[in-house]
Amino acid sequence: MKLLTHLAEQFNKLPGVGPKTALRLAHHVLFSMTPEDVNVFAAALTDGKRRLQTCRTCFSIADGDDCAICKNPNRDTGVILVVADIRDLLAVEETGMFKGRYHVLGGLLSPMQRIGPDKLRIGELRERLKAGQVREVILGTVPTAEGEVTAHYLMDKLRDCGVKITRISAGIPVGGSLEYMDAMTVTRAILNRQDMRAGQEQG
Amino acid sequence: MSFVRLSLENFRRFPKAQFSFAETGLTLILGPNGAGKSTILETIYLLCMGRTPRDVRFSSLVHRGSTTAYFRVEAERPSGPGRSVAYLNGSAVVYHEGDQTVRRSDLIGKPPVILFSADEMRIVAGEPALRRRMTDRILSQERPEYLARLKRYTRAVEERNALLRDDMPPDPGSWMALDETLAADGSEILSARRGFLRDVSADLPDTLKSLGSPHLAERIRIEPAETIRGEYLNALIDARPQDRGAGHTTVGPHRDDIRFWDQTLPAAETVSQGETRILSLALKLIESRRLAAVSQPILLCDDLFSELDGVRRDAVTAFLAAYPGQVLLTSCLALPDPLLAAVRLTLTLE
């Protein structure tokens, strides 16, 4: 019994896993998975944690000192997309449309969660901009209260770096219908509308 | 849009119950005190607004005799999503429209709902939060982006308060970024409220006259309380020392108020109980006309007539009898004949 509850307690520490789900997962590991599968699973956990490294430039996940994106010579070094964490980076990478590089802040400013500017990699971002190759910084933080605060903060701190600063726009998702969209999204989509000819030239 | 059949399970005084309403026009809900008349209105309010009129804890809505901490309410909707459901899950309520789970913020205003109740009649003399809630409720039902901004603004105020309460002096850059974020949403909210107040001021005299109170129409004015001078961002920056001392944000839409003036004096100090009711009623009529421009609101009238004298009864009767949308009216006393003539369906509770 102790074996089961001890394992369940470990699963319970994961985000989004409550006590009931934790017990189900622990039961599955002990009674349904083969010893080989459990070994692979356990090794993935311990190896993953032991070998985890962050890129010295952009602070994404890396195998060595540099991540695959920063090592890739085909990525544009002139554009940096600033994101809160690696999950946001992965979401953008999945689209395959962004050819620049990233900067992972490590969170969003939140006095409630005691995350101040010193907890985020803002000094490191300034260093990258001072190195001189960067033309544009895109602020890719989400339009929540914390995301907006962080964007305002960065705008101020990067102003003297002499690069163009832009903000990702919010709008209608592809295939979305205006009729079912919440009004704030529709409003932002109209405010952030684009010149169609300019869009063609860029593309 | 309307609700035609309501099923309650484990809700308030009902272990299990079903009620039917007329799709449009007047449904009369009769019964003695404590029979559950207001509960029926409360349920419709919950399905439309995602909270109860008095903002009670959801767990207190569970039927007292129940062994489970669970309730479920469901209403049939002939047009729109087919049905609306709300049920208690832990300490939160989950909402469904048709077969889809919806967020609370997506419920609001679809359809809009207006409650006439004794609580709502305290708007003139009651605390400022009542008046802010009235404005926010109307603007949120009218324009979802107002609600979204208000939510983001509220969150940003909490973040700023956390910064103010920190033992360490606030980092100047974070403070400025927070103030800019508050100012961006806050200015939009303030300007929407000012516009709303201008419209209400313009409508008020005629509405009061239609309620048989021309003398009030001459005397009463509504104005925003000037809590913020100039640009909101500057006001926030000016308030920093006092905010740091207080440990919370002292200026902004969350502290805003509306003032009712009786010529040169605050109306709260001069108008009678009866006049307060007439003013509140006038505001409700303006609310219903205003929301009707977006979508015909459902009117929930909780024991409305016990609060009104003869002239006002006639005016309200005329308004309700001619109302094109759905009206649910509770009463424990005899109603005027012209109103009874307009009743499409009567529910009698025991």
Q: What pLDDT score was predicted for residue A200?
A: 47
Beta bridge partners of B312: none
**What's B78-111 look like in SS3?**
CCCCEEEEEEEECCEEEEEECCEEECHHHHCCCC
Smallest CA-to-CA distance from A154 within A191, A163, B65 is with A163
Distances from the Cα of B73 to the Cαs of A38, B68, B141, B330, in angstroms?
45, 15, 22, 19
Residue B320 and residue B267 share a domain = no
Residue B230 and residue B87 share a domain = no
Q: What pLDDT score was predicted for residue B110?
A: 83
Please state the domain count of chain B.
Answer: 2
B14 belongs to a structural domain: yes
Smallest CA-to-CA distance from A77 within A32, A132, A39 is with A132
Smallest CA-to-CA distance from B142 within B283, B19, B276, B293 is with B293
Domain boundaries, chain A: 2-51, 71-202
Asked if B180 is an interface residue toward chain A (Cβ–Cβ < 8 A), one would say yes
Residue B254 and residue B130 share a domain = yes
Residue A112 is nearest to which of B145, B162, B181, comparing CB atoms? B162
Q: What is the CATH number of the domain that holds B64?
A: 3.40.50.300
**Minimal CA separation from A127 to chain B, in Å:** 18
Nearest CA in chain A to B186: A145
Q: Which long-range contacts (CB under 8 A, 24 or more apart) does A114-117 make?
A: A116/B171, A116/B174, A117/A153, A117/A157, A117/B171, A117/B173, A117/B174
Residue B7 and residue B151 share a domain = no
Nearest CA in chain B to A186: B145
Q: Which two tokens mark B318? A: 């005329």
**Minimal CA separation from B81 to chain A, in Å:** 13
Residue A11: pLDDT over 90: yes
Q: Which residue has the tokens 């990258």?
A: A128
Distances from the Cα of B225 to the Cαs of B82, B128, B261, in angstroms?
43, 10, 11
* Domain A71-202 in the same topology as domain A2-51: no
Smallest CA-to-CA distance from A81 within A153, A117, A134, A156 is with A134
User: φ, ψ for residue B75 (rounded to 5)?
Assistant: -130, 140
DSSP state of A141: -
Q: Is there a contact between A183 and B143 if contact means CB atoms under 8 Å apart?
A: yes
Q: Is there a contact between A152 and B176 if contact means CB atoms under 8 Å apart?
A: yes
pLDDT digits (tens, 9 = 90+) for B89-130: 888 899 999 888 998 888 888 889 999 988 888 888 888 888
pLDDT digits (tens, 9 = 90+) for A96-124: 889 999 999 999 999 999 999 999 999 99
CB pairs under 8 A between A and B: 69
Q: β-pairing, B100-102 with B92-97?
A: antiparallel
Position A93, amino acid: E
B210 belongs to a structural domain: yes
The Cα–Cα gap between B283 and B288 comes to: 9
Residue A111 is nearest to which of B105, B162, B176, comparing CB atoms? B162
Q: What pLDDT score was predicted for residue A51?
A: 85
Residue B301 near residue B327, CB atoms below 8 Å: yes
B262 belongs to a structural domain: yes
Q: Is there a contact between B180 and A117 if contact means CB atoms under 8 Å apart?
A: no
Which residues of chain A make contact with B153, given a CB cutoff of 8 A?
A: 145
SS3 A176: coil
Show which of B294, B317, B336 is a domain's final residue.
B294
The Cα–Cα gap between B63 and B60 comes to: 8
B303 Cβ contact list (under 8 Å, min separation 6): B37, B38, B117, B118, B330, B331, B332
Confidence of residue A202 (pLDDT cuts 50, 70, 90): very low
pLDDT digits (tens, 9 = 90+) for A26-69: 999 999 999 999 999 999 999 988 888 899 999 999 888 899 99
Which residues of chain B make contact with A152, given a CB cutoff of 8 A?
A: 176-178, 180-181
Residue A194 near residue A184, CB atoms below 8 Å: no
Q: Is there a contact between A149 and B173 if contact means CB atoms under 8 Å apart?
A: no
Residue B270 and residue B149 share a domain = yes
Residue B227 near residue B263, CB atoms below 8 Å: no
Q: Is there a contact between A111 and B160 if contact means CB atoms under 8 Å apart?
A: yes
Residue A201: pLDDT over 60: no
Residue B177 is nearest to which of A109, A112, A143, comparing CB atoms? A109
Q: What pLDDT score was predicted for residue B234?
A: 93
Q: Which residue has the tokens 């039902």?
A: B141
Residue B112 near residue B141, CB atoms below 8 Å: yes
Position A4, amino acid: L
Residue A199: pLDDT over 60: no
Asked if B178 is an interface residue toward chain A (Cβ–Cβ < 8 A), one would say yes
Q: What pLDDT score was predicted for residue B123?
A: 86
> How many angstroms separate the most distant Cα atoms in chain A?
68
Percentages helix, strand, coil for chain B, rounded to the nearest 5? 50, 20, 30
B221 belongs to a structural domain: yes
Q: Which two tokens mark B214? A: 């021309």
Residue B137 and residue B86 share a domain = no
Type and span of the H or E element at B255: none
Which residues of chain A make contact with B156, given a CB cutoff of 8 A?
A: 145, 148-149
Q: Is A132 left (phi over 0), alpha (psi -120 to 50) or beta?
A: left
Question: Could you please report the per-residue DSSP string of A142-167?
Answer: -SSHHHHHHHHHHHHHHGGG-SEEEE
Residue A182: pLDDT over 70: no
- B292 CB burial (10 A radius; 0-12, 13-18, 19+): middle
Residue B99 and residue B134 share a domain = no
Which residues of chain A make contact with B149, given a CB cutoff of 8 A?
A: 184
Residue B315 and residue B260 share a domain = no
Q: Is there a contact between B171 and A116 if contact means CB atoms under 8 Å apart?
A: yes
Residue A181: pLDDT over 70: no
Asked if A39 is an interface residue toward chain B (Cβ–Cβ < 8 A), one would say no
Asked if A110 is an interface residue toward chain B (Cβ–Cβ < 8 A), one would say yes
Residue B308 near residue B277, CB atoms below 8 Å: yes
- A57 CB-side CA count, 13 A: 17
Confidence of residue A77 (pLDDT cuts 50, 70, 90): very high
Q: Is there a contact between A149 and B159 if contact means CB atoms under 8 Å apart?
A: yes
Q: Chain B interface, mutation test: which of A139, A152, A190, A191, most B Cβ atoms within 10 Å?
A: A152
Q: What is the CATH number of the domain that holds B177?
A: 1.20.1050.90
Q: Is there a contact between B181 and A148 if contact means CB atoms under 8 Å apart?
A: yes
Domain hosting residue B250, numbered range: 126-294
Q: How far is CA B194 from the centre of its chain?
A: 18
**Minimal CA separation from A144 to chain B, in Å:** 6
Position A48, amino acid: G
Which residues of chain B make contact with A145, given a CB cutoff of 8 A?
A: 152-153, 155-156, 159, 181
The parts of chain B modelled with pLDDT lower than 70 are 227
Q: Is there a contact between A110 and B159 if contact means CB atoms under 8 Å apart?
A: yes
Q: Chain A interface, mutation test: which of B145, B175, B179, most A Cβ atoms within 10 Å?
A: B145
Q: Which long-range contacts (CB under 8 A, 24 or more apart) does B95-103 make?
A: B95/B47, B95/B50
Show which of B257, B279, B294 is a domain's final residue.
B294
CB atoms within 10 A of CB A2: 6
**pLDDT: which is higher, A199 or A15:** A15
Residue B149 and residue B97 share a domain = no
> Does the domain made of A2-51 have the CATH classification 1.40.20.10?
no
Q: Which residue has the tokens 């109307």?
A: B138
Q: What pLDDT score was predicted for residue A180?
A: 63
Q: Is there a contact between A156 and B176 if contact means CB atoms under 8 Å apart?
A: yes
Q: Over chain A, what is the mean pLDDT?
A: 88
Asked if A160 is an interface residue toward chain B (Cβ–Cβ < 8 A), one would say no
Residue B158 is nearest to which of A112, A183, A186, comparing CB atoms? A112
Q: Is there a contact between A145 and B180 if contact means CB atoms under 8 Å apart?
A: no
Which residues of chain B make contact with A108, given a CB cutoff of 8 A?
A: none
Residue B68 and residue B45 share a domain = yes
The Cα–Cα gap between B76 and A30 comes to: 47
Q: Which residue has the tokens 């529910």?
A: B347
B117 belongs to a structural domain: no
- What CATH number should be reported for the domain whose range is A71-202? 3.40.1360.10
Residue B263 and residue B165 share a domain = yes
Q: β-pairing, B100-102 with B113-116?
A: unpaired
